[in-house]
Amino acid sequence: MKIVFATNNEHKLKEIRQLLENKHEIISLAEIGCHDDIPEDHDTLQDNALQKARYIKEHFGYDCFADDTGLEIEALNNRPGVYSARYAGPAKDSRKNMEKILTEMQGIAKRKACFRTVIALILNGEEHLFEGRADGEILTEQHGNAGFGYDPIFRPEGYAESFAEMSAEEKNKISHRGKATQKLAAFLKTITSETV
């Protein structure tokens, strides 16, 4: 099955392809010739994911899925949330985003946080939503070089390492995107088995 993943983020693309174990052909926006700056101007992850998926379906005609992910930090009233990618400005600079969080969290003892991912799938004219969540805490400094985004400052519950210190396989089993994608993969499996 050929499905467009509405992203040009190479890290996300690689992670999703690993998670779906190459059972489906996942195509990036670049591969369908989409270089548009797709709007995501809603207040919820769900609405942003749907907005992106609908844009691709409407403008390019492909079945597709899109995700939106947010880091929600309890002490910061669940910020940065939907603004996670551009928290320190429109450049979407991960290093600056992390620095801003670490500065805002200085001296705060309660560091509980969670990552949430919502995937919106448009397939055969129907919309489906899949959500994954990873609970954990914000570290006081960066640890590890793997992963991307806020991974070096997020330690998942029950683990001694940050996401950025884990192997891709280990992270994918427990991450927010991993859990949402597992739900997506399970759903796609039912579709393909029905059409065989």
The residues annotated with a catalytic role in the active site are 68
Tokens read off for 9: 């983020």
Bond prior to 156 in cis (omega within 30° of 0): no
Closest-CA residue to 1 (of 55, 62, 43):
62
Neighbours of 66 (CB within 10 A): 26
Q: Which of 92, 103, 95, 44 is nearest to 69 (CA)?
A: 44
Cβ contact 48:99 at 8 Å = no
- What angle (nearest 5°) sits at the alpha carbon of residue 132, between those of residues 129 and 137? 150
Task: Tell me the two tokens of residue 1.
Answer: 């099955």
Residue 178's SS3 state is: helix
Give the three-state DSSP class for 34: coil
Helix (H, G, I), strand (E, B) or coil at 91: coil
Q: Is 97 within 8 Å of 90 (Cβ atoms)?
A: no
